[in-house]
Amino acid sequence: MGGCLSYDKAHETLRRSVLGTLVKSDKDFDDFFRICKTEVHAISSLIHVNNNQAFYVVVSGEVLVTLRGADDKSVLLNTFQPGDVISFFRAGTILAGSLVSHDLKLSLSFRSTDGMAIVIGADYDAIDYYIERRPHLHGLRAFSELNWTEFRHLPAFASLSVQQVRSIV
């Protein structure tokens, strides 16, 4: 991962993220950190999301979420900063590393001022295996069980502003 500094930064960023706060004890968190994978990307490179990806936490740089329609026009939906969680809600079809729904395609790419950007994340197989052995981690289990279909039908979702929706896409 490019040295101890990157390891420490990834560990600290994940610990301070919303997901990190769901894992209270240091031992449980260290075990959670071990199931995660850190990815280092060059600027402007696309993140190729796999079909089973659960989340990414931005460690450095920025992650841009772009929506491309059938007309091939792109719109920047959101920019995630260090510490932000990008969740994939066990939903959607992923083709060539992008989330696809009908004629719409969501792509994630990096922007960085220092030439590289870092994310840390895990897939659902790793999370499911981890929480299966730790039934006391109710918050992480609830996160793992979220799916987009259920989430968008929650009464609270209907009252979200466009900006708030952009922050969860």
SS3 of 120-155? EEEEHHHHHHHHHCCCCCHHHHHHHHCCHHHHHCCH
CATH number where 152 lies: 2.60.120.10
Domain encompassing residue 108 = 4-168
Of 130 and 96, the structure prediction assigns the larger pLDDT to 130
pLDDT of residue 157: 45
- Model confidence at 100, pLDDT cuts 50, 70, 90, reads low
- Residue 77, amino acid: L
How many domains does the structure of the chain reveal? Answer: 1
Q: For 33-89, write each residue's pLDDT tens digit.
A: 999 998 887 766 667 677 788 888 999 988 888 877 777 777 887 888 999 988 876
Is the Cβ–Cβ distance between 131 and 140 less than 8 Å?
A: yes
Burial of 85 (0-12, 13-18, 19+ CB in 10 A): middle
